[in-house]
Structure 1
Amino acid sequence: MRSVHLKSLLLALLLVNALTFLFRGEWNDSFDSLAWIVLMLLYEIQSGKVLAVHQLHPKLPWIRNLAVLVVVVAETSYLFEGAWLDGVYSLLWLLVVVLFELESRFKQQVVASPWLFRTAAAVLALGMAGVILAWMMNEAYFNAYDGLIWSFAFLIIDLDLMASALGPKHSTTRPEPLSLHVPTD
Protein backbone atom coordinates (compact mmCIF):
# COMPACT_ATOMS: atom_id res chain seq x y z
CA MET A 1 0.00 0.00 0.00
CA ARG A 2 1.19 3.47 -0.78
CA SER A 3 1.88 5.62 2.20
CA VAL A 4 -1.35 6.53 3.94
CA HIS A 5 0.14 9.96 4.58
CA LEU A 6 0.77 10.58 0.87
CA LYS A 7 -2.73 9.46 -0.05
CA SER A 8 -4.23 11.61 2.70
CA LEU A 9 -2.19 14.61 1.53
CA LEU A 10 -3.30 14.14 -2.08
CA LEU A 11 -6.94 13.81 -1.00
CA ALA A 12 -6.69 16.95 1.14
CA LEU A 13 -5.10 18.92 -1.71
CA LEU A 14 -7.77 17.74 -4.15
CA LEU A 15 -10.55 18.71 -1.72
CA VAL A 16 -8.98 22.16 -1.27
CA ASN A 17 -8.81 22.51 -5.06
CA ALA A 18 -12.49 21.52 -5.43
CA LEU A 19 -13.44 24.07 -2.76
CA THR A 20 -11.29 26.69 -4.49
CA PHE A 21 -13.21 26.10 -7.72
CA LEU A 22 -16.45 26.38 -5.75
CA PHE A 23 -15.49 29.68 -4.07
CA ARG A 24 -14.34 31.09 -7.41
CA GLY A 25 -17.78 30.35 -8.81
CA GLU A 26 -16.49 27.69 -11.19
CA TRP A 27 -19.35 25.29 -10.52
CA ASN A 28 -18.60 22.91 -13.35
CA ASP A 29 -14.97 22.48 -12.25
CA SER A 30 -16.03 22.07 -8.63
CA PHE A 31 -18.64 19.37 -9.30
CA ASP A 32 -16.28 17.70 -11.76
CA SER A 33 -13.52 17.60 -9.12
CA LEU A 34 -15.85 16.29 -6.43
CA ALA A 35 -17.13 13.54 -8.74
CA TRP A 36 -13.54 12.55 -9.54
CA ILE A 37 -12.69 12.46 -5.84
CA VAL A 38 -15.60 10.05 -5.29
CA LEU A 39 -14.37 7.90 -8.18
CA MET A 40 -10.82 7.97 -6.83
CA LEU A 41 -11.99 6.81 -3.42
CA LEU A 42 -14.10 4.04 -4.96
CA TYR A 43 -11.14 2.76 -6.99
CA GLU A 44 -9.00 2.90 -3.88
CA ILE A 45 -11.57 0.73 -2.13
CA GLN A 46 -11.76 -1.58 -5.14
CA SER A 47 -7.98 -2.05 -5.18
CA GLY A 48 -8.40 -3.79 -1.83
CA LYS A 49 -6.18 -1.30 -0.05
CA VAL A 50 -8.98 0.14 2.08
CA LEU A 51 -11.59 -2.62 2.39
CA ALA A 52 -11.72 -6.18 1.22
CA VAL A 53 -13.84 -6.55 -1.91
CA HIS A 54 -16.41 -8.69 -0.06
CA GLN A 55 -17.03 -5.76 2.30
CA LEU A 56 -18.19 -3.45 -0.48
CA HIS A 57 -21.69 -2.19 0.00
CA PRO A 58 -24.02 -3.07 -2.91
CA LYS A 59 -24.81 0.61 -3.55
CA LEU A 60 -21.21 1.53 -4.36
CA PRO A 61 -21.55 0.67 -8.07
CA TRP A 62 -24.53 3.04 -8.24
CA ILE A 63 -22.47 5.78 -6.61
CA ARG A 64 -19.70 5.16 -9.14
CA ASN A 65 -22.17 5.30 -12.04
CA LEU A 66 -23.58 8.59 -10.74
CA ALA A 67 -20.07 10.04 -10.41
CA VAL A 68 -19.25 8.96 -13.97
CA LEU A 69 -22.47 10.62 -15.16
CA VAL A 70 -21.47 13.90 -13.45
CA VAL A 71 -18.05 13.66 -15.11
CA VAL A 72 -19.59 13.07 -18.55
CA VAL A 73 -21.91 16.07 -18.08
CA ALA A 74 -18.91 18.19 -17.05
CA GLU A 75 -16.97 16.93 -20.08
CA THR A 76 -19.82 17.94 -22.38
CA SER A 77 -20.12 21.38 -20.81
CA TYR A 78 -16.37 21.99 -21.19
CA LEU A 79 -16.72 21.37 -24.92
CA PHE A 80 -19.81 23.61 -25.20
CA GLU A 81 -17.95 26.38 -23.31
CA GLY A 82 -15.03 26.08 -25.73
CA ALA A 83 -12.67 25.04 -22.91
CA TRP A 84 -10.80 22.63 -25.17
CA LEU A 85 -7.91 21.92 -22.81
CA ASP A 86 -10.33 21.09 -20.01
CA GLY A 87 -12.30 18.94 -22.43
CA VAL A 88 -9.23 17.04 -23.63
CA TYR A 89 -8.05 16.57 -20.06
CA SER A 90 -11.47 15.30 -19.00
CA LEU A 91 -11.56 12.93 -21.99
CA LEU A 92 -8.16 11.55 -20.95
CA TRP A 93 -9.60 10.96 -17.50
CA LEU A 94 -12.58 9.11 -18.96
CA LEU A 95 -10.05 6.85 -20.68
CA VAL A 96 -8.37 6.41 -17.29
CA VAL A 97 -11.70 5.18 -15.91
CA VAL A 98 -11.87 2.67 -18.76
CA LEU A 99 -8.33 1.53 -17.94
CA PHE A 100 -9.15 1.22 -14.22
CA GLU A 101 -12.28 -0.76 -15.03
CA LEU A 102 -10.31 -3.12 -17.27
CA GLU A 103 -7.59 -3.56 -14.64
CA SER A 104 -10.08 -4.29 -11.87
CA ARG A 105 -12.44 -6.54 -13.85
CA PHE A 106 -10.05 -8.47 -16.10
CA LYS A 107 -7.23 -9.39 -13.76
CA GLN A 108 -6.25 -12.46 -15.79
CA GLN A 109 -5.59 -10.27 -18.82
CA VAL A 110 -3.52 -7.92 -16.68
CA VAL A 111 -1.44 -10.88 -15.50
CA ALA A 112 -1.10 -12.17 -19.07
CA SER A 113 -0.12 -8.81 -20.60
CA PRO A 114 0.98 -6.33 -17.92
CA TRP A 115 3.07 -4.45 -20.50
CA LEU A 116 -0.12 -3.60 -22.43
CA PHE A 117 -1.77 -2.01 -19.39
CA ARG A 118 1.42 -0.22 -18.37
CA THR A 119 1.81 1.13 -21.90
CA ALA A 120 -1.79 2.37 -21.91
CA ALA A 121 -1.22 4.08 -18.55
CA ALA A 122 2.00 5.67 -19.84
CA VAL A 123 0.25 7.01 -22.97
CA LEU A 124 -2.53 8.51 -20.84
CA ALA A 125 0.03 10.02 -18.45
CA LEU A 126 1.90 11.58 -21.37
CA GLY A 127 -1.34 13.05 -22.68
CA MET A 128 -2.06 14.52 -19.26
CA ALA A 129 1.45 15.94 -19.06
CA GLY A 130 0.89 17.58 -22.44
CA VAL A 131 -2.31 19.25 -21.23
CA ILE A 132 -0.60 20.37 -18.01
CA LEU A 133 2.22 21.94 -20.05
CA ALA A 134 -0.33 23.64 -22.31
CA TRP A 135 -2.09 25.07 -19.25
CA MET A 136 1.23 26.42 -18.00
CA MET A 137 1.96 27.98 -21.39
CA ASN A 138 -1.49 29.61 -21.27
CA GLU A 139 -0.76 30.85 -17.73
CA ALA A 140 -3.54 28.72 -16.25
CA TYR A 141 -1.31 27.85 -13.32
CA PHE A 142 -4.02 26.67 -10.94
CA ASN A 143 -5.33 24.24 -13.56
CA ALA A 144 -1.78 22.99 -14.14
CA TYR A 145 -1.25 22.53 -10.40
CA ASP A 146 -4.60 20.74 -10.05
CA GLY A 147 -3.76 18.51 -13.01
CA LEU A 148 -0.40 17.64 -11.50
CA ILE A 149 -2.00 16.58 -8.20
CA TRP A 150 -4.53 14.47 -10.10
CA SER A 151 -1.73 12.89 -12.13
CA PHE A 152 -0.01 11.76 -8.93
CA ALA A 153 -3.30 10.31 -7.70
CA PHE A 154 -3.71 8.49 -11.04
CA LEU A 155 -0.25 7.00 -10.76
CA ILE A 156 -0.81 5.73 -7.22
CA ILE A 157 -4.23 4.23 -7.94
CA ASP A 158 -3.03 2.59 -11.15
CA LEU A 159 -0.05 1.04 -9.38
CA ASP A 160 -2.36 -0.27 -6.65
CA LEU A 161 -4.81 -1.73 -9.18
CA MET A 162 -1.97 -3.36 -11.12
CA ALA A 163 -0.53 -4.82 -7.92
CA SER A 164 -3.98 -6.07 -6.93
CA ALA A 165 -4.33 -7.82 -10.30
CA LEU A 166 -0.78 -9.21 -10.40
CA GLY A 167 -0.78 -10.45 -6.81
CA PRO A 168 1.69 -10.23 -3.93
CA LYS A 169 4.72 -10.86 -6.14
CA HIS A 170 4.15 -7.45 -7.76
CA SER A 171 2.86 -5.68 -4.68
CA THR A 172 3.52 -1.98 -4.28
CA THR A 173 3.88 -2.37 -0.54
CA ARG A 174 7.20 -2.41 1.16
CA PRO A 175 8.19 -5.66 2.78
CA GLU A 176 8.68 -5.65 6.49
CA PRO A 177 12.33 -5.02 7.38
CA LEU A 178 14.31 -8.06 8.33
CA SER A 179 15.01 -8.42 11.98
CA LEU A 180 18.60 -9.04 12.92
CA HIS A 181 17.60 -9.98 16.42
CA VAL A 182 18.62 -13.53 17.26
CA PRO A 183 16.71 -15.10 20.14
CA THR A 184 18.96 -16.10 23.03
CA ASP A 185 17.21 -18.98 24.74
Structure 2
Amino acid sequence: MFLLLIANTVVFAVDGTAAEGLDAAAWLILLLLFELETAHATRLSTRRALIAVHAVRLAAGAAVLAAAIGYVNEEDWLDSANAGLWIAVVALLEFKVRFAQGLARHLGVVETIAAVLYLGLAALVLTWAWRGEWFDAYDAALWLVAFATIEMNVLAIGR
Protein backbone atom coordinates (compact mmCIF):
# COMPACT_ATOMS: atom_id res chain seq x y z
CA MET A 1 0.00 0.00 0.00
CA PHE A 2 2.82 2.39 0.84
CA LEU A 3 4.36 1.81 -2.59
CA LEU A 4 1.09 2.83 -4.26
CA LEU A 5 0.92 5.97 -2.12
CA ILE A 6 4.54 6.79 -2.98
CA ALA A 7 3.74 6.37 -6.68
CA ASN A 8 0.71 8.66 -6.32
CA THR A 9 2.85 11.24 -4.53
CA VAL A 10 5.31 11.22 -7.43
CA VAL A 11 2.44 11.70 -9.91
CA PHE A 12 1.07 14.67 -7.94
CA ALA A 13 4.57 16.17 -7.57
CA VAL A 14 5.25 15.89 -11.31
CA ASP A 15 1.83 16.50 -12.87
CA GLY A 16 -0.16 18.29 -10.17
CA THR A 17 -0.25 21.78 -8.75
CA ALA A 18 2.24 22.90 -6.13
CA ALA A 19 -0.45 22.43 -3.47
CA GLU A 20 -1.14 18.86 -4.66
CA GLY A 21 2.53 17.88 -4.63
CA LEU A 22 3.12 19.40 -1.20
CA ASP A 23 -0.09 17.88 0.14
CA ALA A 24 0.68 14.37 -1.12
CA ALA A 25 4.25 14.39 0.22
CA ALA A 26 3.28 15.80 3.61
CA TRP A 27 0.43 13.33 4.12
CA LEU A 28 2.67 10.42 3.11
CA ILE A 29 5.21 11.49 5.72
CA LEU A 30 2.49 11.86 8.37
CA LEU A 31 1.08 8.44 7.51
CA LEU A 32 4.49 6.80 7.79
CA LEU A 33 5.16 8.51 11.12
CA PHE A 34 1.77 7.56 12.53
CA GLU A 35 2.26 3.95 11.42
CA LEU A 36 5.69 3.97 13.04
CA GLU A 37 4.28 5.35 16.29
CA THR A 38 1.29 3.01 16.48
CA ALA A 39 2.60 -0.27 15.08
CA HIS A 40 6.31 0.02 15.90
CA ALA A 41 6.40 2.15 19.05
CA THR A 42 9.18 0.07 20.61
CA ARG A 43 11.56 1.35 17.92
CA LEU A 44 11.12 4.88 19.27
CA SER A 45 12.65 4.21 22.65
CA THR A 46 15.29 6.94 22.68
CA ARG A 47 14.68 10.58 23.38
CA ARG A 48 16.52 11.53 20.20
CA ALA A 49 14.22 9.34 18.07
CA LEU A 50 11.12 10.85 19.68
CA ILE A 51 12.38 14.40 19.15
CA ALA A 52 13.16 13.63 15.50
CA VAL A 53 9.71 12.15 14.92
CA HIS A 54 8.00 15.13 16.54
CA ALA A 55 10.08 17.62 14.53
CA VAL A 56 9.33 15.87 11.23
CA ARG A 57 5.64 15.62 12.18
CA LEU A 58 5.51 19.34 12.94
CA ALA A 59 7.10 20.19 9.57
CA ALA A 60 4.75 17.83 7.71
CA GLY A 61 1.76 19.25 9.58
CA ALA A 62 2.78 22.76 8.58
CA ALA A 63 3.06 21.59 4.97
CA VAL A 64 -0.44 20.06 5.13
CA LEU A 65 -1.84 23.37 6.38
CA ALA A 66 0.04 25.28 3.67
CA ALA A 67 -1.38 22.93 1.02
CA ALA A 68 -4.90 23.34 2.44
CA ILE A 69 -4.51 27.11 2.24
CA GLY A 70 -3.24 26.66 -1.32
CA TYR A 71 -6.40 24.73 -2.25
CA VAL A 72 -8.57 27.50 -0.83
CA ASN A 73 -6.55 30.15 -2.69
CA GLU A 74 -6.90 28.11 -5.90
CA GLU A 75 -10.65 27.84 -5.20
CA ASP A 76 -10.35 24.06 -5.47
CA TRP A 77 -13.28 23.26 -3.21
CA LEU A 78 -13.16 19.47 -3.47
CA ASP A 79 -9.51 19.38 -2.45
CA SER A 80 -10.21 22.02 0.22
CA ALA A 81 -13.00 19.88 1.70
CA ASN A 82 -10.79 16.80 1.44
CA ALA A 83 -7.95 18.56 3.26
CA GLY A 84 -10.27 19.79 6.01
CA LEU A 85 -11.78 16.36 6.55
CA TRP A 86 -8.38 14.68 6.68
CA ILE A 87 -7.06 17.25 9.14
CA ALA A 88 -10.07 16.48 11.35
CA VAL A 89 -9.47 12.70 11.00
CA VAL A 90 -5.84 13.04 12.04
CA ALA A 91 -6.73 15.30 14.97
CA LEU A 92 -9.26 12.70 16.12
CA LEU A 93 -6.70 9.89 15.73
CA GLU A 94 -4.19 11.87 17.78
CA PHE A 95 -6.77 12.29 20.54
CA LYS A 96 -7.62 8.59 20.40
CA VAL A 97 -3.96 7.61 20.79
CA ARG A 98 -2.95 10.24 23.34
CA PHE A 99 -6.08 10.22 25.51
CA ALA A 100 -7.36 6.66 25.07
CA GLN A 101 -8.31 6.18 28.73
CA GLY A 102 -10.13 9.49 29.05
CA LEU A 103 -12.02 8.96 25.79
CA ALA A 104 -13.14 5.45 26.76
CA ARG A 105 -16.22 6.89 28.48
CA HIS A 106 -17.15 8.75 25.30
CA LEU A 107 -16.27 6.04 22.82
CA GLY A 108 -19.68 6.16 21.13
CA VAL A 109 -19.38 9.88 20.43
CA VAL A 110 -15.79 9.54 19.22
CA GLU A 111 -16.68 6.67 16.90
CA THR A 112 -19.70 8.58 15.55
CA ILE A 113 -17.49 11.57 14.76
CA ALA A 114 -14.99 9.26 13.03
CA ALA A 115 -17.77 7.63 11.00
CA VAL A 116 -19.12 11.01 9.86
CA LEU A 117 -15.63 12.14 8.82
CA TYR A 118 -14.95 8.92 6.90
CA LEU A 119 -18.38 9.10 5.23
CA GLY A 120 -17.54 12.62 4.11
CA LEU A 121 -14.28 11.37 2.63
CA ALA A 122 -16.07 8.48 0.91
CA ALA A 123 -18.54 10.99 -0.56
CA LEU A 124 -15.58 12.88 -2.03
CA VAL A 125 -14.31 9.66 -3.64
CA LEU A 126 -17.71 9.21 -5.26
CA THR A 127 -17.80 12.87 -6.32
CA TRP A 128 -14.42 12.63 -8.04
CA ALA A 129 -15.52 9.41 -9.76
CA TRP A 130 -18.82 11.00 -10.85
CA ARG A 131 -16.87 13.92 -12.33
CA GLY A 132 -14.62 11.50 -14.22
CA GLU A 133 -11.55 12.44 -12.18
CA TRP A 134 -10.48 8.82 -11.86
CA PHE A 135 -6.98 9.32 -10.50
CA ASP A 136 -8.25 11.61 -7.75
CA ALA A 137 -10.98 9.08 -6.89
CA TYR A 138 -8.46 6.23 -6.83
CA ASP A 139 -6.00 8.22 -4.71
CA ALA A 140 -8.69 9.21 -2.21
CA ALA A 141 -9.91 5.61 -1.95
CA LEU A 142 -6.35 4.40 -1.39
CA TRP A 143 -5.91 6.90 1.45
CA LEU A 144 -9.15 5.68 3.04
CA VAL A 145 -7.79 2.13 3.04
CA ALA A 146 -4.48 3.32 4.50
CA PHE A 147 -6.15 5.17 7.34
CA ALA A 148 -8.56 2.31 8.00
CA THR A 149 -5.46 0.19 8.58
CA ILE A 150 -4.14 2.74 11.05
CA GLU A 151 -7.52 2.87 12.79
CA MET A 152 -7.20 -0.90 13.30
CA ASN A 153 -3.81 -0.36 14.95
CA VAL A 154 -5.24 2.43 17.13
CA LEU A 155 -8.13 0.21 18.22
CA ALA A 156 -5.68 -2.58 19.05
CA ILE A 157 -3.59 -0.18 21.15
CA GLY A 158 -6.67 1.05 23.00
CA ARG A 159 -7.51 -2.46 24.20
Give me the TM-score of the superposition, normalised by structure 2.
0.91
Could you tell me how far apart the structure 2 residues matched to 1:105 and 1:25 are? 35
Could you tell me how far apart the structure 2 residues matched to 1:159 and 1:81 are? 35
Aligned residue number for residue 36 of structure 2: 45
Q: Does 1:85 align with 2:78?
A: yes
Identity of aligned residues (%): 31
Q: Which has the larger radius of gyration?
A: 1
State the 1:25 CA deviation: 4.4
Q: Does 1:125 align with 2:118?
A: yes
Aligned residue number for residue 31 of structure 1: 22
Unaligned runs of at least 5 residues, structure 1: 1-9, 167-185
Unaligned runs of at least 5 residues, structure 2: none
Q: Does 1:135 align with 2:128?
A: yes
Aligned residue number for residue 147 of structure 1: 140
Could you tell me how far apart the structure 1 residues matched to 2:156 and 2:93 are? 12
Could you tell me how far apart the structure 2 residues matched to 1:122 and 1:51 are? 26
Aligned residue number for residue 87 of structure 2: 94
Could you tell me how far apart the structure 2 residues matched to 1:101 and 1:68 are? 13
Q: Does structure 2 conserve the Cα–Cα contact (< 8 Å) formed by 1:14 and 1:37?
A: yes
- Superposed CA RMSD in Å reads 1.5
State the 1:54 CA deviation: 2.9
The residue correspondences of 1:62-73 to structure 2 (distance < 5 A) are 62-73=55-66
Instruction: Label 1:16 to 1:125 Cα distance change in 2 as closer, same or farther (>3 A).
Output: same
Which has more helix, going by share of residues?
2
